[in-house]
Homo-oligomer: A and B are copies of this chain.
Amino acid sequence: MNSIAVVGSGLVGVVLAISLKQKGFDVVVYDKSIDIRHMDFKGRSINLAMSDRGWKTLREIGIEDEVKQLAIPMHSRAIHTIDKQQSIQPYSVNGDSAIWAISRGNLNKELITIAERFGVEFCFDTPIWDVDLDQGLLYTAKEERDKWTSIKYDVIFGADGAYSRVRHRMQKQSMFEYQQSYLELGYKEFIIPADAAGKHKLSPNLFHIWPRKDFMFIALANTDGSFTCTLFLPYKGKVSFESIQSVEEIEVFFETFFSEVKELIPDYLALYQENPVNSLVTMKCFPWVYEGKVALIGDAAHAVVPFYGQGLNAGLEDIYVLSRIIDNCTERNWKEVFKAYQENRKPNGDAIAELSYRNFEEMSASTADTMFLLRKKIEVNFSKKYPKLWLPLYDRVTFSDDSYLKALEIGDKQKSIMDDIMQIEEIALIWDTEAIEKEILKRL
């Protein structure tokens, strides 16, 4: 049986290791970090929203129920406007599909324990500095400048994230397409602590958003009664991390835009001052694989901004698709497997990158916009009546099995139809009439 190394013990690396171990391969996972089960894990994490694509993968390896213990379902968005009003927007047409809030740190720790139970071997505190693509060698040393030793594997997976070392080696090949690009927006972590009774201060079953157009604050519940929160804010400009630095500036900023948040987080000032500003990268590359030896997976192959909540879900779906391909390839020909994997996943990686990039505007601005809400209502109305003709984009990305590419393509078509519809005179008055329904049908 082949020996397989997985570089990276993040969520995708560990789930991949479990999946491969279950197929009978010898699997070793390497990570430069020490075992995170012995670490405090905070300061730069955005809570995850696990949705159908993620669960599908965990279900296949038989750990869905166990992991769901860590997660809190969220059926709707709660939009907190600047005048402290809250409006609820269900995520799905039917209103009962949920995305699941889950702490990245807790999930990762739990997955490592599960993987050990399945017999996956872990080498922590073991940085991989380079890879020999042809020979399948990993090079390791405590420090990059020390003498490296090599370890040989039949197959190597780079699951080492957006700054992948394995990909760095592939990037040096001729004809390797590569692009990394940062938003002019950073983020900072906050925590809403549990109340005196240890309970959540807001409903835990809602995805809380305080949209303010060019910036926003979000909160996702943890199982311990707290919320992990993220402030997304431009690096520079009139209202930005650069312009908000002194105690007074921070206080005025929260008082003006997030007075509700200010009350929920007694130590918001200290958290703003202590926590780092993290950046948001989109990374695309091609190819993802090298012969039958090396493959990139998860963020190492396609890093996206977090605004669709699909980064992890896309990585887990990579594993789901790869697993099917391995099972269907009776001779375990890795070159064939990797080729099919790449052909299937690369277009979808690009599509979710595009969808994620676009969704910041929807989250930060449109969710508080009347015309946007009207547009959603028309879509939901129509979709309920003609479920086979219209599934809204968000539902397709989050709650369906359709590919991201298909979602993007159909989404663009739907958008152009809805752009037309929204131009109709007095649409706000006649939106739920048969006339409008006919206009949509005509365009489909």
B168 contacts A175, C-beta separation under 8 Å: no
Say whether A180 faces chain B, with CB atoms less than 8 Å apart. Answer: yes
Say whether A118 faces chain B, with CB atoms less than 8 Å apart. Answer: no
Q: A187 vs B16: C-alpha distance in the bound complex, in angstroms?
A: 40
Say whether A117 faces chain B, with CB atoms less than 8 Å apart. Answer: no
A181 contacts B177, C-beta separation under 8 Å: yes
Contact status of A179 and B178, CB under 8 A, knowing A144-B130, A145-B130, A146-B147:
yes
Among candidates B145, B148, B168, B179, residue contacting A179 with C-beta atoms closer than 8 Å: B179
The residues of B that contact A168 with a CB separation of less than 8 Å are 168
Say whether A41 faces chain B, with CB atoms less than 8 Å apart. Answer: no
Among candidates B150, B178, B179, B182, residue contacting A175 with C-beta atoms closer than 8 Å: B182
Say whether A139 faces chain B, with CB atoms less than 8 Å apart. Answer: yes
Among candidates B148, B174, B278, residue contacting A279 with C-beta atoms closer than 8 Å: B174
Q: Which of A88-137 contact B (CB under 8 A)?
A: 130
Say whether A386 faces chain B, with CB atoms less than 8 Å apart. Answer: no
Say whether A163 faces chain B, with CB atoms less than 8 Å apart. Answer: yes
The residues of B that contact A144 with a CB separation of less than 8 Å are 130, 148
A147 contacts B150, C-beta separation under 8 Å: no
B174 contacts A182, C-beta separation under 8 Å: yes
Q: How large is the interface on A (under 10, 10 to 19, 20 to 34, 35 or more residues)?
A: 20 to 34
B279 contacts A175, C-beta separation under 8 Å: yes
Among candidates B147, B177, B180, B278, residue contacting A145 with C-beta atoms closer than 8 Å: B147
Contact status of A178 and B177, CB under 8 A, knowing A130-B144, A145-B139:
no
Contact status of A177 and B171, CB under 8 A, knowing A144-B130, A145-B130:
no
The residues of B that contact A388 with a CB separation of less than 8 Å are none
The residues of B that contact A175 with a CB separation of less than 8 Å are 182, 279
Q: A147 vs B144: C-alpha distance in the bound complex, in angstroms?
A: 8
Q: A279 vs B145: C-alpha distance in the bound complex, in angstroms?
A: 31
Say whether A438 faces chain B, with CB atoms less than 8 Å apart. Answer: no
Say whether A172 faces chain B, with CB atoms less than 8 Å apart. Answer: yes
Say whether A372 faces chain B, with CB atoms less than 8 Å apart. Answer: no
Residue among A148, A172, A175, A181 with max Cβ neighbours from chain B (10 Å): A175
The residues of B that contact A281 with a CB separation of less than 8 Å are 174
* Chain B residue nearest to A148 in the complex (CB): B145
* Chain B residue nearest to A284 in the complex (CB): B179
B-contact 0/1 string along A401-422, CB 8 Å cutoff: 0000000000000000000000
B172 contacts A180, C-beta separation under 8 Å: no
* Chain B residue nearest to A279 in the complex (CB): B174
What are 17 A-B contacts defined by CB distance under 8 Å?
Answer: A130-B145, A139-B145, A145-B147, A145-B148, A145-B150, A146-B147, A163-B172, A174-B182, A174-B279, A175-B182, A177-B180, A177-B182, A178-B178, A178-B179, A178-B180, A179-B180, A179-B181
Per CB-CB distance, the 9 closest pairs between chain A and chain B, nearest first, are A145-B148, A174-B279, A179-B179, A147-B147, A175-B182, A178-B180, A175-B279, A139-B145, A177-B181
| Known A163-B172, A178-B181; 5 more pairs at CB < 8 Å | A146-B148, A176-B180, A177-B181, A177-B182, A178-B179
